[in-house]
Amino acid sequence: MKKKILLIYTGGTIGMTKDYKTGSLVPFDFDSIFNNIPELQLLDVDLQSISFEKVIDSSDINEKHWIKIAEIIENNYLFFDGFVVLHGTDTMAYSASALSFMLNGLQKPVIFTGSQLPIGDLRTDSKENLITSIYFAIQHKNKIPIIQEVCIYFEYKLFRANRTTKYSTLHFDAYVSPNFPLLGEAGVHLNINENELYFDKMKTFNINTAFKNEIEIFKYYPNCSYSILKYLVNNEQVRVIILECFGAGNIPLDEENLELLRISKQKNKLLIVTSQCIAGKIDLGKYQNSNIFLELDAIDGKDMTQECLITKAMFLLGQNSNNKDFKQYFEQNLKGELS
């Protein structure tokens, strides 16, 4: 029997075509997807699609849209063998990371993809990204899906969603997974790195849609002002402060800075330490300039991407965790997001 794949179109360049009268990009009707991409008819797969009533630019994405995607998957989970989510590239890594935490007991592929150029463009990357995402989604072994996690597929590469970040606005090869191997590559053959795949220990599928956005980010730079950090420390609506530090977690040993961090601890704030480097991991205590975080029992961001850090923090806050539980779960590998 043909495998059934549900396409979920949220918006973004991949679902656009050019109106040659105006020169503008407009969304095309996904009910006529075979007219726009006739190559799909060559696939031995039963394709159906659902489109957001109002398609959105990925810059406007928020947790309400993540919940909507999760609910579409939940409502159709029993009827399809896999799901391909079409999404704008700017925030795709955020959405895909969020979904990785929301979907429990997932035993089917959920693959996010997008494109740098619209379908109507002669040099578009959208057709290859979409077609190969579908190919990865229908891969089975002994009637069981090979991929059972949330992924991103882009330009011949399959990534774990919560390990992926967008690094380029100019290249078709726009995404990287700086601290984790590829899950697959598309060449003459589809290659899947089965040894690196994630499998959820839960066997009953359900979704968790609770998020809270009580987080802010402070980035250190040479000779930086601490006025914003002071504001965040004293803001009662901010519970989590993500600190973008140098290297392996180092910060200036400025007395004003250290005093504000100590005050934040007194105010029961959660401090998450992450690096401005795209690759590597936090190593608290390696240098003197990170010892303050050991003193304050700060949370180690390890080798997680910024997209993962943010969505994981929002998700754990949504579970109404106390500070001790938040730290424990944040530093724990929940969905393959950290080494």
Rg (CA), the chain: 21
Catalytic residue among 10, 13, 132, 164: 13
The packing angle between helices 63-76 and 92-102, to 10°, is 50
Distance of alpha carbon 164 from alpha carbon 112, whole angstroms: 11
Contact of 270 with 241, CB cutoff 8 Å: yes
Residues in the chain: 339
Residues 6+ apart with CB under 8 A from 58: 10, 11, 12, 87, 88, 89, 90, 91, 92, 95, 114
Distance of alpha carbon 137 from alpha carbon 157, whole angstroms: 13
Contact of 126 with 132, CB cutoff 8 Å: no
Distance of alpha carbon 270 from alpha carbon 137, whole angstroms: 38
Distance of alpha carbon 256 from alpha carbon 274, whole angstroms: 20
Task: Write out the DSSP string of 296-336.
Answer: TTPEE-TT--HHHHHHHHHHHHHTT--HHHHHHHHTS-SSS
HSE-CB at 226 with a 13 A cutoff on CA atoms is 14
Contact of 163 with 177, CB cutoff 8 Å: yes
3-state secondary structure of 119: coil
- Annotation marks residue 13 as catalytic: yes
Distance of alpha carbon 91 from alpha carbon 311, whole angstroms: 11
Active site residues: 13
